[in-house]
Amino acid sequence: MIQRRTRFGGHLLRSFRDASSSSSSKIGGYFGLASQTSTSLQQACVSTNRDAEFANLEWDNLGFGMVPTDYMYIMKCSKGESFEHGQLCHFGNIELSPAAGVLNYGQGAYEGTKAYKKEDGRLLLFRPDQNAIRLKNSAERMCMPSPSIDQFVDALKQTVLANKRWVPPPGKGSLYIRPLIMGSGEILGLSAAPEYTFLIYVSPVGNYFKEGLAPLNLYVEEEFDRASRGGTGGVKSITNYAPGLKALTRAKNRGFSDVLYLDSMNKKNLEEVSSCNIFVVKGNSISTPATNGTILAGITRKSIVDIARDHGYQVEEGTITVDELIHADEVFCTGTAVGVAPVGSITYQGKRMEFKTGAQAVSQQLYMTLEGIKKGVIEDKKGWIVEIG
């Protein structure tokens, strides 16, 4: 039986596993991987007897759930200092003090991105520098240090390469990558934690929604707010999401896919769906709510804006009232986890509005272009793709 524990004590990470002494010596070699090149990292992965091309999974039945993989990446620093050297260690549970800042005061932020495998076996990341920038903004808002862009991207590369057998075959899904920063140090009174941990773990995933690529049915939430002016709605704070579970659970129990939030001040302007941005299509015009501090600046959102303009659409970022939905031809959502998801209907104050979906929809055209770029099928003319192996 395998047991995995990683203790967050001092600056040395230790992994414990019930294995032979020879396996233990190989595992120990992983503590020096942070400074290795991609080539030597790949060779080190082979030395751990995890050289099968793919893990033993039912790739055709992937959903969006946690699948434990081989390795995670951890880097630590103290308050007032900078992140310097990180390490790969076996994926497993971590130990935190009950007084850790993240547990008591929610001091944490996270990101989400994906890796794809091409037919020739090469691995691709999509705009990881944008995730690094957004995580830095989130960390600053939550009074935490953050890795540099180069540190962040290098950590992603190391983690994906170490877990390369978990990247789904082409067309079967992607490797979801979850970087996060948390206040791991002990703090009793309300204050910034004295120590911080940057961590990356991964999981192979399929479609986010149980509907797969089928159109979503959204419910306009009027009782609960997602964010308010001056709050943290514009960053990926860990505190943004659990408060939305009540509205989301209630909507799903009523048969809806997700909830669409309105602004907290006027209760009439579209903001976001629970975990993704929203777009509205009317003729040749595509509109999306402006990122004004309460709406997360999605990287998929930003990419779709550029792709839509390349396709000749007029894209506007501004205020969209809920009443305007009745005149829309199409509605769709975007996000790292969801990709580009068509919306079949939105229910507001008991009235159901339906929208165009299908192969000829604008959202499908944009989806095919975006996915083609991500997977290396369509030429990347914007420098968005980072190849890592």
Choice among 136, 236, 374, 375 that is catalytic: 236
SS (H, E, C) 44-86: HHHCCCCCCCCCCCCHHHCCCCCCCCCEEEEEEEECCCCCCCE
Exposure b/e, 192-231, CB count within 10 A at least 16 = b: bbebbbbbbbbbbbbbbbeeeeebbbbbbbeeebbbeeeb
**Measured between alpha carbons, how far is 354 from 343 in angstroms, rounded to an integer?**
8
Is 236 designated active site?
A: yes
154 vs 13, 159, 380, CA distance in Å?
19, 9, 21
**Measured between alpha carbons, how far is 86 from 12 in angstroms, rounded to an integer?**
10
Token duo for residue 56: 């033993």
- Secondary structure (3-state) at 219: strand
What residues form DSSP beta bridges with 216?
Answer: 343
What residues form DSSP beta bridges with 136?
Answer: none
Cα angle at 383 between 370 and 114, to 5 degrees? 50
178 vs 72, 163, 327, 350, CA distance in Å?
10, 13, 38, 37
Residues carrying an active site annotation: 236
